[in-house]
Amino acid sequence: MSAHEENCVFCKIIAGDIPSTKVYEDENCVAFFDISQVTKGHTLLIPKTHEENIFELQEETAAALMKNAPKIARALKEQFGSVGMNLVNNNGEAASQTVFHYHLHFIPRYGDDEIYSNWDQNQGDKLSTDDMQKIAAQLQTRLA
């Protein structure tokens, strides 16, 4: 076990060294209630392998997680009667990641909770259509 894994709270949850309220588990992943409960039913889905963030996440790990995401979201919706769901993943300290083991937040929404501002109202860097097309072509080359 690496030093990262030894100090990782999520690795300790997987190992059973720290208690959690698990809602789902299979050979690849674990889902459990987030201790903070931003909204009722706030759940985390994590891989059993220690992969720090989306930049380190193996494609096979991502596939195993996303295979389970819809059924976890549906179960949360049915259990809590939410009317929406945010799936959130923070990657890196600059993006507010605080536990450096990949995790996906399922945040049930109830219509009037107002926990996030609308991202489309933020005034970030705007790209022209031409710039977007040039950058998209460069990204397509990187992804080929």
Query: In the chain, what are the domain boundaries?
Result: 3-119
Write the pLDDT tens digit of every residue in 58-87: 999 999 999 999 999 999 999 999 999 999
| Confidence tier at 52 by pLDDT (50, 70, 90) | very high
Write the pLDDT tens digit of every residue in 3-30: 667 899 999 999 999 999 999 999 999 9
Taking residues 117-123, what's their average pLDDT?
58
**Selected catalytic residue, list 42, 101, 103, 105:** 103
- Indicate the pTM of the whole model: 0.87
- Spacing of C-alpha 32 from chain mean position: 12
Per-residue pLDDT, 74: 96
Q: Which segments of 19-128 does DSSP mark as H helices, in order?
A: 59-80
Per-residue pLDDT, 97: 95
Residues 6+ apart with CB under 8 A from 118: none
Q: Is 103 a catalytic residue?
A: yes
Instruction: Give the pair of three-digit tokens for residue 111.
Output: 């219509």
User: Which fold does the domain 3-119 belong to in CATH?
Assistant: HIT family, subunit A (3.30.428)
